[in-house]
């Protein structure tokens, strides 16, 4: 089984299967059939338009006789080809289509078809980054955009950012209290986050830099508490793993490419990246549908081409996603075949595991998206 450096370009043949490939295929089958992750929704629930998640080599989207035909990719051998056909107005039409890295093809008429049916197409690369989100119903409201810009120049954007970070700290306290075992490091982190809530409530920061400094100190204590959590593994006698993979570890990478948390060198961080990507896609769709400009942010601001406003709204929801990740990794016994290590030290998820993680978070109803700001006091002319 051979992998290209930039995609799941898998050359599979029965003769190519050797003893090293068998664990990979077995883990692919495990994640495809795991009842806790891939249980099929009931017919009644499927009618509520569940997302369609695609992964592997040979993904294909095309329009045939005015119907959308979607062919899923292949990730291991043997694997049965799966094809979906959707008609316009179909009651089984997916709420969105998510492509996890992979390789394949899509035609221009597919993009038109999806736009007409209001079905977003989201592409997430192997690093867990949202590469693109097409067909999300973009209809920006000039009045809202003017208010976003006014809020950047006035103090309204900072006040909104303070409320986001305060909510993030409170959610972080809840995650530490419920998703990690009791220990002195956890209690210290909870105390530090509680101190941050008290400070931000009594003496709100006067600048974005001060606010980010407070959030950074809290994040350091928050993720330091994760180090007390160990992971369960099997199959280590056949294939060893890096020493730091036995525990959760810190939320940063030691990979040579200096990619920060985007280029995770640890399995849990790699899983987090996929979970955050799903969160980003959900928030982005709501922001665009509401008429805001996703690039005009308050807490995150200044980087060209980045969806700063989406990143702002994600902040209070990250600890809730973290909670689900912690619950997930504690409920699983992993195998070395679930992950691969790139030449630069970056950890990459088995594509079927990545698909299972995305399914888990797409169906997670444990949080609601943040309420979009009204930006009172920052009005545009004529409003």
Tens of pLDDT along 62-94? 999 899 999 988 876 677 888 899 998 888 888
* Contact assessment for residue 134 and residue 111, using Cβ atoms and an 8 Å cutoff: yes
pLDDT exceeds 70 at position 328: yes
Domain boundaries, the chain: 2-134
In this prediction, residues 200-219 reach a mean pLDDT of 94
In this prediction, residues 350-368 reach a mean pLDDT of 79
Reported confidence tier of residue 211, pLDDT bands at 50, 70, 90: very high
Tens of pLDDT along 112-139? 898 888 888 888 876 677 777 776 555 6
CB contact set of 164 (below 8 Å; sequence gap of 6+) = 299, 312, 313, 315, 316, 370
- Domain 2-134 has what CATH class? alpha beta
Identify the DSSP state of 51: -
Please state, as a whole number, how many other Cβ atoms lie within 10 Å of the Cβ of residue 36. 10
The pLDDT score that the predictor gives to residue 19 is: 53
Give φ, ψ of 302 to 5 degrees: 110, -15
**Most confident among 59-63, 173-177, 362-366 (mean pLDDT):** 173-177
Give φ, ψ of 352 to 5 degrees: -75, -35
The average confidence (pLDDT) of the chain is: 80
3-state secondary structure of 122: strand
What is the percent of the chain where pLDDT is above 90? 37
The pLDDT score that the predictor gives to residue 139 is: 61
pLDDT exceeds 70 at position 163: yes
pLDDT exceeds 50 at position 22: yes
Identify the DSSP state of 244: G
CA distance 383 to 381: 6
The pLDDT score that the predictor gives to residue 99 is: 86
Q: Would you state the structure tokens that stand for residue 365, as one six-digit string?
A: 């109803």
Picking from 102-106, 242-246, 272-276, which range would have the lowest pLDDT averaged per residue? Answer: 102-106
The pLDDT score that the predictor gives to residue 363 is: 67
Reported confidence tier of residue 52, pLDDT bands at 50, 70, 90: confident
CA distance 350 to 338: 5
pLDDT exceeds 90 at position 103: no
In this prediction, residues 189-211 reach a mean pLDDT of 95
- The pTM of the full predicted model, rounded to 2 decimals, is 0.77
Q: Within 13 Å of residue 30, how many CA atoms lie on the same side as its CB?
A: 14
Radius of gyration of the CA atoms of the chain, in A:
22
The pLDDT score that the predictor gives to residue 12 is: 33
CA distance 139 to 14: 50
């Amino acid at each position: 089984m051979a992998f290209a450096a930039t995609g799941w370009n898998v050359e599979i043949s029965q003769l190519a299967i050797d003893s090293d490939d068998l664990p990979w295929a077995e883990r692919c089958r495990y994640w495809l059939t795991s009842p806790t992750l891939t249980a099929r929704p009931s017919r009644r629930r499927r009618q509520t338009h569940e997302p369609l998640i695609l992964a592997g080599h040979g993904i294909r989207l095309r329009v045939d006789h005015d119907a959308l035909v979607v062919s899923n990719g292949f990730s291991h051998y043997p694997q049965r080809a799966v094809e979906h056909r959707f008609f316009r107005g179909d009651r089984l039409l997916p709420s969105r289509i998510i492509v996890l890295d992979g390789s394949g093809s899509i035609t221009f008429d597919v993009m038109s078809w999806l736009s007409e049916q209001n079905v977003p197409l989201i592409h997430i690369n192997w690093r867990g980054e949202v590469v693109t989100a097409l067909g999300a119903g973009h209809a920006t409201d000039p009045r809202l955009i003017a208010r976003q810009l006014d809020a950047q120049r006035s103090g309204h954007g900072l006040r909104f950012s303070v409320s986001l970070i305060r909510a993030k700290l409170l959610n972080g306290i809840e995650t530490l209290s419920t998703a990690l075992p009791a220990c002195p490091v956890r209690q210290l982190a909870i105390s530090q986050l509680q101190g941050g809530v008290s400070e931000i409530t009594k003496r709100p920061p006067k600048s974005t830099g001060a606010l980010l400094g407070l959030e950074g100190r809290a994040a350091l204590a928050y993720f330091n508490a994760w180090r007390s959590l160990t992971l369960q593994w099997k199959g280590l006698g056949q294939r060893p793993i890096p020493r730091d993979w036995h525990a959760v570890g810190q939320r940063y990478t030691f990979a040579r490419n200096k990619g920060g948390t985007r280029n995770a060198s640890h399995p849990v961080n790699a899983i987090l990246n996929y979970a955050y990507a799903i969160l980003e896609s959900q928030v982005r769709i709501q922001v665009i549908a509401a008429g805001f400009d996703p690039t005009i942010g308050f807490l995150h601001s200044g980087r060209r081409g980045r969806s700063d406003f989406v990143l702002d709204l994600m902040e209070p929801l990250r600890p809730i996603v973290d909670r689900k990740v912690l619950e997930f990794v504690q409920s699983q016994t992993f195998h070395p075949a679930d992950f691969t290590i790139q030449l630069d030290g970056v950890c990459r998820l088995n594509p079927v595991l990545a698909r299972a993680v995305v399914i888990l978070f797409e169906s997670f109803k444990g949080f609601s998206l943040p309420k979009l700001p009204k930006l009172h006091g920052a009005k545009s002319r004529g409003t």
